[in-house]
Structure formats: structure tokens, C-alpha cells
């Protein structure tokens, strides 16, 4: 019974892939009428998402289906032995990682150049200050409370945006402030918030080397080499 179920799943999944191959799989439409259809669609979707998330978007669907069906049929043997498959996949991912790093570096170079031009122009504003590290800041409102140290926990409200004004994160939108150790965030935050007194509101312009550099958070709209802009309200130093 177990083998039958697995083979049924394999056949259903493979049939969906083959249909997709014939019509280009981006345009394949699911046929979902019951729980099993939903389950089989989920198998395919999650496998596809896993490949896409790793930057693999050039899959030969015919060979993919052939490998899948062979693995599900215990009576068939693979056209490639296990050791060779492992070596092949490992080599592929090493090459993929190198290409991705090269693409990131090229993208970062462009963004760093644009960010530097932005920061140079921004510094012409009379109310913008710059520290020795290159961090720029504007005082929106000056508080009269104590200033935190790098080892303190702080409570803040903030909004982060790119130089294109696209907002990528906001505690205001979530409706609640955030508390965190000041020495466990990006360097621009660690340095900048220490300039603030409790009750202050500052705007920070953070160069890429004080932010995420060439390695922004996965899934974020932040690109490699991006200058980040934060509006930060220091609410409290948490004991």
C-alpha cells in the first residue's frame, strides 16, 4: 500500500511537470478539486520554491521528471551513480555560489557609487552632521534623558528606507517599539544611537560599510552596497 501511494504521488507529480514542460512551466495551471490535488500541488510547489530560493531557474524539466520517476520506482536503477551525483551537485552549487557572489559584487559597485553621490550631496545640508566613520545624522528632536552605551539595551521606534524612499522596515507600521542590545545591530545603529539622549529623534544616513555591506538580509528589498536611512526615536534605556 505504501509503495502504491508513493508511486501515485510520483505519477501525479510527474504528470503535472510534463504538462508544465509542454506549456512552459511558468504558465502551468493547477487542477485542484480535492485534498489529494492540493497535497500533490504542494509537493511540486515546495520543491520548485526550494530550487528557486537557491537561484536555480534553468531546470531541464524532462530530465528532472525522469530522475524523479526513477527514484520513486524501486525496480529502476539510476543512470548516474550516487557518488557521481553528489560530486556533480556539489560542483554545481560551488559554481552557482561564485556566480552569485560576482553578480552581488557588480551590483554592489553600482549601488556604492550611487550611495556615495547621495551622501556627498546630503552633507551639503546645513543640518546634517558626519562622524569620523562616515555616519551622517540629522537631529529632528533633542531629548534631555541619558545617553546609552554600546552594552545597553534600548527601546526605540524607527523606520528604515532606501535612498529611493522605499520603506523596508518600520516599527511604527507594526504598532509597537522594539527592544534590543545596542551592540548586536549594524555598526551604524550602534554608533548612532549612542549619540542620542532618551527622548531624542534622529535621522541617520548609514553608508553600506556601516550597514549590511554586500550581504543584505535574504528576502529584503535592500540591495548589496545600499545606503540606509533610518528615522529613530529613542524611547528608553532598558535595565
Check: CB of residue 181 under 8 Å from CB of residue 236.
no
Domain presence at residue 117:
no
Residue 134 is given by DSSP the state: S
Domain presence at residue 50:
yes
Same domain? 135 vs 68: no
CA 123 to chain centre: 30
Q: E strand or H helix at 120, and its extent?
A: helix 82-122
Task: Give the residue numbers annotated as catalytic, written as ranges.
Answer: 158, 168-169, 186, 212, 230
- CA 179, CA 171: separation in Å to the nearest integer? 11
Same domain? 135 vs 42: no
| pTM attached to this predicted model | 0.65
Residue 5, pLDDT above cutoff 80: no
Domain presence at residue 39:
yes
Domain presence at residue 56:
yes
Same domain? 63 vs 135: no
Same domain? 143 vs 50: no
CATH number of the CATH domain containing 163: 3.10.50.40
Domain presence at residue 99:
no
Domain presence at residue 103:
no
**pLDDT tens-digit readout, 61-115:** 788 777 777 877 766 688 888 888 889 888 888 888 888 888 878 888 999 999 9
Range of the domain at 219: 128-238
Check: CB of residue 229 under 8 Å from CB of residue 204.
yes
Amino acid at each position: 500500500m505504501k509503495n502504491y501511494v508513493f508511486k501515485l504521488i510520483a505519477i501525479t507529480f510527474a504528470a503535472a511537470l510534463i504538462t508544465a514542460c509542454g506549456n512552459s512551466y511558468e504558465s502551468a495551471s493547477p487542477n485542484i478539486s480535492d485534498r489529494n490535488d492540493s497535497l500533490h500541488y504542494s509537493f511540486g510547489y515546495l520543491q520548485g520554491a526550494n530550487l528557486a530560493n537557491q537561484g536555480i531557474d534553468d531546470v531541464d524539466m524532462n530530465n528532472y521528471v525522469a530522475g524523479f520517476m526513477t527514484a520513486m520506482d524501486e525496480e529502476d536503477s539510476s543512470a548516474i551513480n550516487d557518488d557521481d551525483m553528489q560530486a556533480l551537485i556539489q560542483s554545481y552549487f560551488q559554481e552557482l555560489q561564485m556566480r552569485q557572489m560576482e553578480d552581488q559584487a557588480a551590483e554592489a559597485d553600482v549601488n556604492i557609487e550611487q550611495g556615495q553621490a547621495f551622501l556627498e550631496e546630503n552633507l551639503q545640508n546645513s543640518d546634517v552632521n558626519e562622524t569620523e566613520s562616515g555616519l551622517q545624522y540629522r537631529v529632528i528632536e533633542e531629548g534631555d534623558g541619558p545617553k546609552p552605551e554600546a552594552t545597553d539595551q534600548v527601546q526605540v521606534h524607527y523606520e528604515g528606507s532606501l535612498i529611493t524612499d522605499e520603506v523596508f522596515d518600520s516599527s511604527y507600521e507594526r504598532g509597537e517599539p522594539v527592544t534590543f542590545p545596542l551592540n548586536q545591530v549594524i555598526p551604524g545603529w550602534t554608533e548612532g544611537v549612542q549619540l542620542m539622549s532618551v527622548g531624542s529623534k534622529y535621522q541617520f544616513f548609514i553608508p553600506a560599510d556601516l550597514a549590511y555591506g554586500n550581504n543584505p538580509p535574504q528576502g529584503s528589498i535592500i540591495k548589496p552596497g545600499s545606503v540606509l536611512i533610518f528615522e529613530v526615536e529613542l524611547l528608553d534605556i532598558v535595565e
